[in-house]
Amino acid sequence: MSDQHTCACADAQEEELYPKLSEIVEGNRGKPENLIMVLHKAQNLFGYLPKKVQQIVAEGLGLSLSQVYGVVTFYSFFSTSPKGRNTIKVCLGTACYVRGGQQALGKVENELGIKVGGTTEDRRYSVDVVRCIGACGLAPAMLVNDDVYGRVKTTKVMEILDRYE
């Protein structure tokens, strides 16, 4: 699976969001000082900030696309690629790394067919690495959305992920 492609149903669902984006932009027309707030609202709406969304925001706020793109890529909380409905964060902090975090991550990547930073084609999952989730005593640990899983064995990874339909 490639994280660069999305299913047609996801694209169709996105098209339905543009009228709402237009409302957000209209409420801030000509107010470049509201850029970060508008980008947050747009990302909450779409789940990420594709180029078309950035263009609409730029035009509405009276900014260039490069100015908007500069802000989007500067702040780590903005994303230019789609994220999954379920976010998997595998801890690779010292305790988790030593106790098998890398193997758990490898199992997640192999089973889902994506690498760190990627999203499954059906947008069900996104995978990221974190350095600590505060569960060192449960190492290796991972988060799925807001749920913490400790002592994660490679044999249990898919059992955990299958809970998130």
The pLDDT tens digits of the residues spanning 51-100 come to 999 999 999 999 999 999 999 999 988 989 888 889 999 999 999 999 99
- CA pair distance 162, 3, nearest whole angstrom: 20
How large is the average pLDDT for residues 137-148? 96
Three-state secondary-structure class, residue 91:
strand
How large is the average pLDDT for residues 126-137? 94
What is the predicted pLDDT for the residue at 111? 96
Tokens matching residue 5: 């492609």
Give the torsion through C-alpha atoms of 85, 89, 90, 95, to 10 deg: -150
Domains of the chain (ranges; CATH) run 8-74 (no CATH), 86-161 (3.40.30.10)
pLDDT > 50? residue 1: no
Tokens matching residue 22: 């237009």
The answer to whether 61 and 29 have CB atoms below 8 angstroms apart is: yes
What is the share, in percent, of the chain residues with pLDDT greater than 70?
Answer: 93
Of the candidates 11, 35, 13, 16, which has an alpha carbon nearest to the alpha carbon of residue 24? 35
What is the predicted pLDDT for the residue at 152? 97
**Average predicted confidence (pLDDT) for the chain:** 91
What is the predicted pLDDT for the residue at 14? 84
Q: Residue 42's pLDDT band (boundaries 50, 70, 90)?
A: very high
